[in-house]
Amino acid sequence: MGNQEKKQPKVGLFPLITIVIGSTIGAGIFNLMKDMAMGAAPGAVMIAWLITGVGIGTLALCFQNLSNKLPDYDAGIFRYAEEGYGEFAGFASAWGYWLSIWLGNVAFATMLMSSLSYFFPIFEDGQNLPSILAASILLWVLNYLVTKGVENAAVINFVVTVCKLVPIFIFIVCAFLAFKANIFTMNFWGTLSHQFEFGDVMGQVKSTMLISIFSFVGIEGATILSARARRKKDVGRATVIGVTAVLIVYIFVTLLSFGVMSQAELAQLPKPGMAFVLEKIVGSWGAAFICGGLSISILGVWLSWTILPGETAMIAAKQGLFPKVFGALNQHGAPAKALFITSLSIQLFMFTFLISAQAYQFVTSLVASVVLVSYLFVTMYQIKYMKTQPKGRERTVQLWIGYLATAFQIFAVMSAGVKYILLLTLLFVPGVFVYIRARKEQGINKSIFNKIEWVAVIFIFTGAAVAVIGLISGIIQI
């Protein structure tokens, strides 16, 4: 196994940047203006992007600082949690991140089929039986591709990333030329008085948090592949550069759309919203062009998110957080068994298309909620680690970055609401048993949990029980 890892080619700065961008910009951007408009007016959206920019930007700076200071911490997305708060915290971070990626693939599947229905009506809204069958075939094709070597898949991801950015760039140019200030400023704050009202506007801002968080899931792509980086410093640089580029693109796409159509019109658009905004600007070919671009985009990000959960599970297994089966490599150096387990989980979850009326919106919100667990551990470890460093300007700056990033994660969790927190605990119940299995494989049969960890376990099972009752009674809707 060691020889296989040494033979794997290293990845440079530019490919790492494309992995960050490719892993982040996916299906969400093509419906971003509709999703935002459903709960927020232009003024609130601007505030939301300002808060998100600070929150995600400081998170990226945490990744950069920690990857520079601790270059040997491969896959720091959950290594930091383990080092700072113990094995179960490390597992919780790894489990949450692993869940967020493959659940994201479920969302990509329904959005892909929905976009293809523009050309092939048989797929309808992307949640019928033909959609499940087509998505299932693609799922296992991507699984096969990645098992033949992570590096080959990464090269394809680079090509697809370049291709998918073209329709987005054309949309931005067309929206800029069609932008009308009077449409953009019409009820700018979205309030009954048409004036700024703090409570109302902040309520609108909170409604966008899960949307914006989901839009940025994937920024840690370079960190997850840090073991394959040619230079460890490139991991942090790629993350910061990639996040900055993605944020700029998101701001242009959403705000320019509010200058082409009113909030009410954007909120009522079919999916994907970008297609029908461009259709209004250039005609019917615009919708077909965007739907084609969306299909390419999803294929690219789905490919990236096929790589990431396998890598995450493999590294977690090497650290003793996941059972050993997740760490087994095939002759191509790919975690084939981890990929199979992940793909099987996606396959089983795809059948929820038939019972959930809003599968895409539900799954994207669930992804954003679960990934916050991993991100919060990163930002808290940034604070904990920097407090051990010598006093000085760098320590002070990095501590404030950690404080701001942590505050944003907490704000995002609160914005998610009780529903998703309860569903989150339900997803962590099987994880507890997976962790117990992993610990027993390490020869630990007693005192698997310490006192604080037992409190966390009790919270998980209590929250899960409440979630089950809520689902059965209909109080919690999916």
How far apart CA 237 and CA 147 sit, in angstroms, is: 28
pLDDT in tens, 179-200: 999 999 988 998 888 888 898 9
CATH for 2-417 (1.10.10.60, 1.10.10.10, 3.40.50.720, 1.20.1740.10): 1.20.1740.10
Task: List CB contacts of 29: < 8 A, sequence separation 6 or more.
Answer: 168, 215, 249, 250, 253, 274, 297
pLDDT in tens, 224-262: 555 566 776 777 777 788 888 889 999 999 999 999 999
Report, in angstroms and rounded to the nearest whole number, the Rg of the chain calculated over CA atoms.
22
How far apart CA 5 and CA 333 sit, in angstroms, is: 7
Residue 351 belongs to what H/E stretch? none
Closest CA to 31 of 201, 214, 220, 203: 214
Task: List CB contacts of 319: < 8 A, sequence separation 6 or more.
Answer: 79, 82, 90
Highest mean pLDDT among 4-13, 274-283, 417-426: 274-283
Q: What is the pLDDT of residue 226?
A: 57
Rounded average pLDDT over 454-476: 91
CA distance from start to end of the chain: 43
Domain borders along the chain are: 2-417
71 burial (CB, 10 Å; 0-12 / 13-18 / 19+) is middle
- Looking at every residue in the chain, the average pLDDT score rounds to 84
Q: Is the dihedral of CA 460, 220, 314, 406 positive or negative?
A: negative
DSSP state of 283: -
- Which three-class secondary structure state does DSSP give residue 258? coil
The residue assigned the tokens 């200071």 is 69
List, in sequence order, every residue forming a beta bridge with 11; answer none if it has no partner. Answer: 229
* Alpha-carbon torsion angle 402, 403, 408, 410, nearest 10: 110
Cα separations in angstroms, 132 against 122, 124, 215, 342, 353: 12, 12, 24, 17, 8
pLDDT in tens, 120-146: 888 877 778 888 899 899 899 888 888
Cα separations in angstroms, 11 against 151, 155, 362: 9, 10, 35
Q: Is the dihedral of CA 391, 392, 398, 404 positive or negative?
A: positive
pLDDT in tens, 382-425: 999 999 999 999 999 999 999 999 999 998 888 877 888 898 89
- Which three-class secondary structure state does DSSP give residue 274? helix
How far apart CA 373 and CA 272 sit, in angstroms, is: 29
Q: What is the pLDDT of residue 250?
A: 94
Task: List CB contacts of 212: < 8 A, sequence separation 6 or more.
Answer: 48, 49, 52, 56, 250
